[in-house]
């Protein structure tokens, strides 16, 4: 399966600032996704990161708040903009491999103070 | 869209006993059903998956069963060990390049 490197692993940020999370995969993958996991909760899909075009956002998530880049088939970034304490969560990158398996990064634990 | 229900939300078992977690899904087009284990501070790790053309799959102490008619699938862990303690998530994958939909998770505690 694909190996995902996600950075940073954790951060504490001031409200009103922005944080960019990086996701690097060791092989080319077609599908990349960004999820949010609020404390003690399940995984909620934020968006599908599309290579060479705008990301596809799920209901409740907008590009101005969560801009996503996907410049190539191995890399993507998610920015959490103008942060508030409600954005404190774990953010996870996921990729879909050729055999339809989905692999997750180790996550970014974000705390907004 | 797809909706996945998972039960129970918490489960405590004695070491050596079996644990069963059940999920139901709504979209008959779903054809991929993985199970993930998430330990504290880590991302979800795939432990086993099953596709719609298979009714049961086993990997050592872990097995998954699928009933497509009833739209439910289950995770079975036998001879549980303390290191099996974690949160387990089921998911369903509709066909094509669409993302997984997750259940709400089950916190499994194995008591030594």
Query: Tokens 């097995």 appear where?
Result: B63
Give the CA distances from residue A75 to residues A29, B44, B78, in Å, rounded to whole numbers and listed in that order: 9, 20, 39
For residue B96, the model assigns a pLDDT of: 64
Cβ of A43 within 8 Å of Cβ of B44? The answer is yes
Q: Indicate the SS3 state at residue B23.
A: strand
Q: Per residue in B58-94, pLDDT tens?
A: 999 999 999 999 999 999 999 999 999 999 999 998 7
For residue A34, the model assigns a pLDDT of: 97
Q: What confidence category does residue A76 fall into, taking pLDDT thresholds of 50, 70 and 90?
A: very high
Which of B41, B88, B99, B100 would you mutate first to test chain A, the one with the most A CBs within 10 A? B99
Chain A residues within 8 Å of chain B (Cβ atoms): 1, 6, 30-31, 33, 41-43, 45, 48, 92, 94, 96, 100-107, 109
B6 CB contacts (<8 Å, ≥6 apart)? Answer: B21, B22, B23, B89, B90, B103, B104, B105, B106
């Amino acid at each position: 399966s694909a190996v995902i490197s996600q950075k940073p692993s954790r951060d504490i940020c001031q409200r009103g600032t922005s944080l960019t999370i990086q996701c690097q995969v060791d092989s080319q993958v077609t599908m990349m996704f960004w999820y949010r996991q609020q404390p003690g909760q399940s995984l909620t899909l934020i968006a599908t990161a599309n290579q060479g075009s705008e990301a596809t956002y799920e209901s409740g998530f907008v590009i101005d708040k969560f801009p996503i880049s996907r410049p190539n088939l191995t890399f993507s970034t998610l920015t959490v903009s103008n942060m508030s304490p409600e954005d404190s969560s774990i953010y996870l990158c996921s990729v879909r491999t050729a055999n339809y398996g989905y692999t997750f990064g180790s996550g970014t634990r974000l705390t907004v103070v | 869209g797809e909706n996945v229900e998972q039960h129970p939300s918490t489960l405590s078992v004695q070491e050596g006993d079996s644990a069963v977690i059940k999920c139901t899904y709504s979209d008959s087009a779903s054809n991929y059903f993985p199970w993930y284990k998430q330990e504290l501070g880590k991302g979800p790790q795939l432990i086993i998956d099953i596709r719609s053309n298979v009714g049961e799959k086993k990997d050592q102490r872990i097995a998954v069963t699928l009933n497509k008619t009833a739209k439910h699938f289950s995770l079975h862990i036998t001879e549980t060990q303390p290191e099996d303690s974690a949160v387990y998530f089921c998911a369903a994958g509709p066909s094509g390049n669409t993302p997984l939909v997750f259940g709400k998770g089950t916190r499994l505690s194995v008591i030594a």
